[in-house]
Amino acid sequence: MSIAIFFHPDCLQHDTGLGHPESAARLSVILDGLKNCGFSQELDFIPATLGTRTQVLLAHTPEHYDHIAQSIPAEGDYTYLDPDTIMSHGSFQAALRAVGASCEAIDKVVTGKYDSAFCAIRPPGHHATSNRAMGFCLFNNVAIAARHAIQMHKLERVAIVDLDVHHGIGTEEIFKRDARVLYISTHEWPHYPGTGSAAEKGVGNIVNIPLSAATDGTEYRTVFSENVMSTLRNFQPQLILVSAGFDAHRDDPLASIKLVEDDYRWIGTQLRSVANEYCGGKTISFLEGGYNLRALAASAVSYVSAFAETEQT
């Protein structure tokens, strides 16, 4: 079965300014890599719909939505929501496309049209809390998707696995009292945003796995096998969502974990195996971080290849 790749050109119109690490080039190199990979015949590229206020409010307060909507600058100008989180004239439209892609991916995968999907979207989302934009993120795409799956498709157990090297403070905040959602995060610690200690457990549904700087692929695979996989199997998810950050790569400029491209393929293979075991393979991944363009493109393609029937060439 083909893999759905959700994307819209509007996501390239989120302009963060010269020198900002979260640039439109990130998305361009991923799309180029996927279109030219050895399993491209298995990919269906689907233009994202425009998300709605109602969908955003699944995970955010009305005040947060209104603040973002009212912060759109004039063409050529920028609005700084914090020192790192920037809006251009096209950012709100891009953020709504990311939300639309996330919810449509849920609809397509949960109803069985696809087993898996990858949302090639920006701005990223996992740092956005229910009432605050931060860490390059405006709306929390994976959180909105999880709530959409629960409310629209009546799922009772949704797992979120966060691979980004930075802890998903927003995703944890949104779900820390919602036992229907299991949140597992592997991340460098201590590191931005300063949250994600193992002591943060929510109502038993939050599993933070802090990693020391310079953790390599061998160490990571051991931790993932012994902690992430066993936790997922105990939860028996009906759907697995992945905050697919690729900034734990050894060449990424914003962190110090030492993964390589093949580690991301291995992670994808592990997630696919547990998804096949418990939820008919239903897995949706959402682009988060990754700021070395070469490493990002190679890692994303390697990761997506794990969900393909054809071996990557």
In this predicted structure, the answer to whether residue 313 has a pLDDT above a threshold of 90 is no
What does the alpha-carbon distance between residue 26 and residue 10 come to, in Å, rounded to a whole number? 14
Does residue 137 belong to any structural domain of this protein? yes
What does the alpha-carbon distance between residue 237 and residue 4 come to, in Å, rounded to a whole number? 21
Instruction: Count how many domains the chain has.
Output: 1
Catalytic residue, chosen from 60, 126, 127, 166, is 127
Question: pLDDT tens digits for 201-217?
Answer: 999 999 999 999 999 99
pLDDT-derived band at 227, boundaries 50, 70, 90: very high
Domain of 297, CATH number, reads: 3.40.800.20
Q: Percent of the chain, pLDDT > 70?
A: 99
Segment 97-121 shows an average pLDDT of 98
Question: pLDDT tens digits for 137-168?
Answer: 999 999 999 999 999 999 999 999 999 999 99
Which residue stretches of 113-216 are H helix?
141-153, 169-175
Q: Cβ contacts of residue 196 below 8 Å, gap of 6+?
A: 167, 168, 169, 172, 185, 187, 189, 208, 210
Three-state SS for 216? strand
Question: pLDDT tens digits for 253-266?
Answer: 999 999 999 999 99
Q: Tell me which residue range forms the domain holding 235.
A: 3-305
In this predicted structure, the answer to whether residue 288 has a pLDDT above a threshold of 80 is yes
Is position 127 annotated as part of the catalytic site? yes
Does residue 11 belong to any structural domain of this protein? yes
In this predicted structure, the answer to whether residue 105 has a pLDDT above a threshold of 50 is yes
Q: Which residues on neighbouring strands pair with residue 284, listed in sequence order?
A: 117, 241
pLDDT-derived band at 11, boundaries 50, 70, 90: very high
In this predicted structure, the answer to whether residue 310 has a pLDDT above a threshold of 80 is no
Does residue 310 belong to any structural domain of this protein? no
Does residue 212 belong to any structural domain of this protein? yes
Question: pLDDT tens digits for 180-205?
Answer: 999 999 999 999 999 999 999 999 99
Return mean pLDDT, the chain: 97
Does residue 218 belong to any structural domain of this protein? yes
Does residue 115 belong to any structural domain of this protein? yes
pLDDT at 235: 98
Segment 109-136 shows an average pLDDT of 98
Does residue 311 belong to any structural domain of this protein? no
Does residue 313 belong to any structural domain of this protein? no
